[in-house]
Amino acid sequence: MLETRSAPTDSATAITAWTAKDLLDTDTLSLAEIALIMETTEAMSEIRNRPVARVATLRGSTIVTLFYEQSTRTRASFEVAAKALGADVVNLTASGSSVEKGESLIDTVRTLEAIGADVVVMRHGKSGAPYLAARNTKASVINGGDGTHAHPTQALLDLFTMRRHIGDLTGKRVVIVGDVLHSRVARSNVWSLMASGANVVLCGPATLVPRTLHGHSERGSCEVTTNLDSALRGADVVMALRMQKERQDGGLMPSLREYINGYQVNARRLALARPGALVMHPGPMNEGIEIAPEIAHGVASVIEEQVSNGVAVRMAVLYLMTTARRP
Amino acid sequence: MTEPLLIRGGRVIDPGSGFDEVADVLVREGVVFEISNGLSDAGARVLDARGCIVAPGFVDLHAHLREPGFEQKGTIATETAAALRGGFTTICAMPNTSPAPDSATTIEALVERIARDARVRVLPIGCVTRRREGKHLAELSELAAAGCVAFSDDGSPVADGWLMRHALELTGALGLPLSEHCDDPSLNHGGVMNEGAVSERLGLAGQPPSAEISAISRNIALCEATGARLHIAHVTTARGLELVADAKRRGLPITCEVTPSHLFLTEEAVFGPGRTPAYDTNAKINPPLRTENDRQALVRGVNDGTVDAIATDHAPHAAEDKFCEFDDAASGISCFETALGTLMTSVERGELSLPAVLRALTVGPSLAFAIDLRIAGAGALKVGVSSDITIFHPTEPWVVDPQQFASRGKNTPLGGRELHGRVRAVIVGGKLTLHEEVAHA
C-alpha cells in the first residue's frame, strides 16, 4: 500500500502560507507544502547562525511538548526551536503527570488546550495516537513520533540535509537499512523522499522489512530488499536505523552478531556506494552495531548536521503552524 | 391467548423447503395456521406486507449480551431488543461474561435472567474450559444437562491441542457442537488488525492470516480424529474457508459461520475513507477484517452453501472502550441492527444471492446447532410448527445512526452509511413483538 490517498496534484505552485491544522505525517504533504517548509527552514538556519540566535516571532504562543516515551533529541530539539522563536514552552512527560493517574490521552490534550496550548508536540508509543489527539482538540498537533508509524519532522530534517548536500533528489538512490518494519523514521522518509523524486531502497533482514511498501509514485519509487550489498551499489545516501536490542529476544533475529554480519554499515560496504555518498542516522546510534564507529564519525557522515538541521526544521514547522493559527 | 395475525401480500420465503411465493400467512395460537392466497382477515390483525419479504425469524449462532458482568456494554434486555430490531428471533449467547457460564449454577442463573428480560429466544453457550482459561475442562455433561446449545470458549481459543482433542471427545459424546474461534495465539503475537498492506502502512501490529488458517487446519484434524461436531466460528480467510469446504466434501461433521462485517468490509475500514488515516477503532474486531480477496471468497462461500450460517458476532461496547488509542481499544462491532442492511445492500449490488442469505440466516444456523430440536420450527416457516417470523423490506434505504440503536453498544464503523433493506415487523412465538411504527417512531 504505497500510494498516498489522492496524491496531491503538484504543480510546484508556490504557496506562501501554511493552512493545515496539524502535522501528523509526511504522506499528506503536497510538494508545495514541502517546498514551503524547506524554504522556511533555510531562513531558520540563517537565524541559527546569528550571534544571538533568537527572535520574538512567536512571543505569546504556548508550545507544549507531551512525551509519553523517552526522548532526548526530539524533545530538546523542539524546545530549543520554540524558545529560539520566543514562544513559551511547557514540557510534559507521562511520568510525573496526571497520565500516571490514569488520565486518558483525550482528556490530557483537552486540558492542555484549555490551559492555552497553541501547539502540542506529541510523542507516543502507540501508532495513531496523535491522530486521536488531533481529532479531539483545537490545538495544533505535531507528531513527534508515534509507535512504529510516523515521525514527520525527522523525515523533513533528513530531506533538508540531503538537499543541502545533493540538491535535487530526482533519481537519487537513498538506501535505508535496518529494522525498517518497526521504524517510524523509515516510513515517514518514504513519503517525503518519493514525493521529492528519489528512489528509496528499504533494506534489512527478512524478518524486519515490510512486504508491501514498494512501488512507484508519480515522481519516485520504493523497493524492498534483504541484500545490502546490492542495495548499496550506486547509492547516493545511506541511512542506518537504530537496531533495537529487544528484537533478538522477540525471535525476530538470531543475534546482534548475525545482524552486524549482514547489515552493519561499515567501510567495506560503504565502498559499494557512489563516491561521496552521504551517511546518515536518525539517532540515537548503537555504534558498532548498525553502524561502524569510523563510518559514523567519518568524512561522509552528516549525522551531527542532521541534529542541527533538526532544530531549524522544527523552528520552521512551529513558525508556519503557529502563525497559521493567528487571525 | 395471543391476537391472530394475518400477514398479507408478502413474498413468503422458506429456505428449508424452497417455498418462495407471494402469499398471505395466518398466525393463530402461536403457530402458522395457513399459508395461502386471499385469506380472510376475520378477527385477525392485518399486517400489510406488500413489497416485503416474509421469512422465518433469523437465528444467530454468535452474539455477546454482556450480562452478567459487563452491563455498561449491554444487558440481556437491551441487546435482545437490538436483536429484535435486526430480525433475530433466536440468538446464542457467547460465554465471555463474568462469571463465565462454566457450571450448572451459572447457566441456571443465566437462564433465569433470560426468562425475565429477553425479548427474543436466547440459548446459552457453555464454556469448554473453566473460566475460559484453556487449562481445565469445564464439567461439560452438567452444562449440557443445564441446557447449553453448544460449547465455546469464545474469543479465547483452546490453544492446547491435547485439551482440544479431549474436549471434542467429550462434546462429541454429548452430541453438542463445539464452536471454536480458530486462532493460533503464538502466531498472532499481539496483533491488532489484519497483517498486510494497511497494517504496514499504519505501523500497527498484524494478525497474520496463517494464525487462523493453521488453527482451522488443526481443528479439522481433531474433528476427523474424534468424529465430534465442530463449528468454525467467524471464518475470515479465503484459505480457511477452502479448508472447511474440503473437510465438508470429505463428510466430516463440520459447520461454519461468517459475519456480516467480514462480508461487507475489509481492512481498509481501519484506514477509513479519507487521505488522513482514521485508525478507526470501530473497525477493530477479532478476528480482524481482512482483504478484498478474502471478502469475496466469503461472499462466494455464502452463495455456494459452504457457509452454514451468517452469525453477527454482535459485540456491544461502551463508548470509552473505543474512544482511545487503537492498540488499547476493545474488539467488536455492534452488529444486530445493521446486519440485514449490509446483507441486503450486498444482495442489491449483485454480490450475495437472496436465497443464500436467507438460508444462512435461518435453516442453516438452525441445523448447525440443532436448534430445531429445542425450538420446534426454528429457522423454518411452514404450517403447523413455526411461529417466529421476520418481515423486512428488501431495498428500503436508511442511514445508520448509532445513537438510535436499541443496543447499548454504539460501536459500528457504518455510522452515516446508507444501507438498503430494513426490518419492518417481527413475530416471536406467534406474537407481534416488533412493528415498524414501534421500532422507528
Nearest Cβ partner for A212 among B197, B203, B279: B197
A292 touches chain B (CB under 8 A): no
Contact flag A28-B328 (C-beta cutoff 8 Å): no
Share above pLDDT 90 across residues of chain A, in percent, rounded to a whole number: 82
Find the CB nearest A210 among B200, B323, B324: B200
Domain that holds residue B167: 57-373
* Closest chain A CA to residue B200: A210
**Residues in chain A closer than 8 A to B277 (CB atoms):** 128, 131
Within 143-202 of B, beta carbons closer than 8 Å to A belong to: 196-198, 200-202
Nearest CA-CA distance, residue B276 and chain A, Å: 7
Domain membership flag for residue B393: no
pLDDT band at A7 (very low <50, low <70, confident <90, very high): very low
- Minimal Cβ distance to A106: which of B204, B275, B323: B323
Cβ distance of A146 and B203 shorter than 8 Å: yes
Q: Quick check: is B47 in a domain? A: no
CA-wise closest residue to B2 among B18, B22, B26, B23: B26
pLDDT for the residue A3: 62
Are residues A83 and A137 both part of a single domain? yes
Q: What is the pLDDT of residue A5?
A: 58
Residue A289 sits in the same domain as residue A179 = yes
Collapsing DSSP to helix, strand or coil, A63 comes out as: strand
Per-residue pLDDT, B440: 41
∠ CA A125-A207-B283 to the nearest 5 degrees?
50
Provide the pLDDT confidence category of residue A93 given band limits of 50, 70 and 90: confident
C-alpha cell at A158: 533528513
Residue B88 in any domain: the answer is yes
The residue length of chain A stands at: 327
Domain membership of residue A194 (yes or no) is yes
For A145, which residue in chain B has the nearest alpha carbon? Answer: B203
**pLDDT of amino acid B438:** 41
Per-residue pLDDT of chain B (441 residues; tens, 9 = 90+): 688 999 999 999 999 999 999 999 999 988 999 999 998 888 899 999 999 999 999 999 999 999 999 999 999 999 999 999 999 999 999 999 999 999 999 999 999 999 999 999 999 999 999 999 999 999 999 999 999 999 999 999 999 999 999 999 999 999 999 999 999 999 998 999 999 999 999 999 999 999 999 999 999 999 999 999 999 999 999 999 999 999 999 999 999 999 999 999 999 999 999 999 999 999 999 999 999 999 999 999 999 999 999 999 999 999 999 999 999 999 999 999 999 999 999 999 999 999 999 999 999 999 999 999 999 999 999 998 868 999 999 999 999 999 999 999 999 999 999 999 999 999 999 999 998 644 443
Task: Count structural domains, chain B.
Answer: 1
Three-state DSSP at A297 gives coil
Which CATH number fits the domain that encloses residue B112?
3.20.20.140
Grid cell in block for residue A324: 497559521
- The pLDDT of residue A168 is above 90: yes
Residue A15 included in any domain: no
Distance to chain B for A135, nearest Cα, Å: 9
Q: What average pLDDT does the structure give for chain A?
A: 93
Check whether A9 has a pLDDT greater than 80. Answer: no
Based on the fold, state whether residues A230 and A269 are members of the same structural domain: yes
Same domain membership, residue A115 and residue A64: yes
Residue B213 placed within a domain:
yes
Q: Give the residue from A150, A160, A153, A162 showing the smallest Cα distance to A187.
A: A150
Q: Note down the domain range covering A194.
A: 153-303
Q: What is the pLDDT of residues B393-410, one digit of tens each?
A: 999 999 999 999 999 999
Peptide bond preceding A254 in cis form (omega within 30 of 0): no
Spatial contact of B281 and B31, defined as CB atoms under 8 Å apart = no
Q: How far is CA B93 from CA B63, B151, B313, in A?
A: 5, 11, 10
Domain harbouring A227, CATH code: 3.40.50.1370
> Which chain B residues touch A213 with a CB distance below 8 Å?
200-201
A-chain residue closest to B268, CA distance: A1
Whether chain B has a CB inside 8 Å of the CB on A185: the answer is no
How do residues A269-325 score in pLDDT, each as one tens digit? 999 999 999 999 999 999 999 999 999 999 999 999 999 999 999 999 999 999 998
Q: What is the CB-side half-sphere exposure of residue A269 using CA atoms within 13 A? A: 25
CA distance A270 to A253: 23
- The verdict on A58 and A196 lying in the same domain is no
Tell which of A132, A143, A190 to mutate to test the B interface (max B CBs under 10 Å). Answer: A132
Q: Show the CA angle centred on residue A203, arms to residues A199 and A205, nearest 5°.
A: 165
Q: Residue for cell digits 491544522?
A: A21
CB contact under 8 A, B275 and A6: yes
In a domain, A202, yes or no: yes
Are A124 and B204 within 8 A, CB to CB?
no
Phi, psi angles (nearest 5°) of residue A211: -100, -20
The active-site residue out of B183, B313, B372, B388 is B313
ipTM over 0.90: yes
Domain match, A145 and A273 both: no
Instruction: Enumerate the residues of chain A whose CB falls inside 8 A of the CB of residue B278.
Output: 131
CA dihedral sign of residues B129, B131, B136, B140: negative
pTM: 0.94
Same domain, A270 and A170: yes
Per-residue pLDDT, A4 = 61
Domain tally for chain A? 2
Element (H, E) at A307: helix A303-325
Q: How far is CA B48 from CA B7, B15, B391, in A?
A: 6, 22, 10
Chain B nearest CA to A253, separation (Å): 16
Phi, psi angles (nearest 5°) of residue B167: -60, -45
Cell of B441: 417512531
Quick one: DSSP state of residue B27?
E
Closest residue to A132, CB basis, from B201, B204, B279: B279
Phi and psi at residue A97, to the nearest 5°: -120, 180
Residue A248 within any structural domain of the chain: yes
Residue A212 distance to chain B (closest CA, Å): 5
Which residues of chain B make contact with A4, given a CB cutoff of 8 A?
275
Instruction: Please check whether residue B42 lies inside any domain of the structure.
Output: no
- The question of whether B102 is a catalytic residue gets the answer no
CA distance B97 to B103: 13
Residues A160 and A178 in one domain: yes
Phi/psi class of residue A147: alpha, beta or left (left: φ > 0; alpha: ψ in -120 to 50)?
left
Q: Write out chain B residues lying below 8 Å of A66, CB-based.
A: none
Interchain CB contact of A212 with B (< 8 Å): yes
Predicted local distance difference test score (pLDDT) of residue A52: 87
SS3 B59: strand
Residue B2 lies inside a defined structural domain of this protein = no
Q: Residue B314 pairs with which residues in a beta bridge?
A: B63, B333
Dist. CA A51–CA A271, nearest whole Å: 39
Pick the closest to residue A132 from A7, A22, A28, A26 (CA basis).
A22
In chain A, which among 80-109 make CB contacts under 8 A with chain B? Answer: 104-106
* Tens-digit pLDDT profile for residues B46-70: 999 999 999 999 999 999 999 999 9
Residue A203: pLDDT above 70? yes
Residue B424, domain member (yes or no): no
Would you give the distance in Å from CA A191 to the centre of its chain?
Answer: 11
Residue A50 forms contact with B (CB below 8 Å)? no
**Percent of chain A whose pLDDT exceeds 70:** 95
| Residue ranges of A 256-275 with Cβ closer than 8 A to chain B | none
Does B14 fall in a domain?
no
Buried b (16+ CB within 10 A) or exposed e, A258-279: ebbebbbbeeebbebbeeebbb
Tell me the C-alpha distance between B282 and B330, whole Å: 9
> What interhelical angle do A31-48 and A184-195 show, nearest 10?
110
Summarize pLDDT for A209-254 with one digit per residue, the tens.
999 999 998 899 999 999 999 999 999 999 999 998 777 777 888 8
List, for residues B127-173, the tens digit of each pLDDT value.
999 999 999 999 999 999 999 999 999 999 999 999 999 999 999 99
A100 and A120 co-located in one domain: yes
Residues 224-283 in B contacting A (C-alpha not used; CB under 8 Å) = 274-279
Contact A144, A65 (CB under 8 A): yes
DSSP H or E run through A44: helix A31-48
Report whether the peptide linkage leading into residue A284 is cis, meaning its omega lies within 30 degrees of zero.
Answer: yes
DSSP A256-281: HHHHHHHH-B-HHHHTTSPTT-EEE-
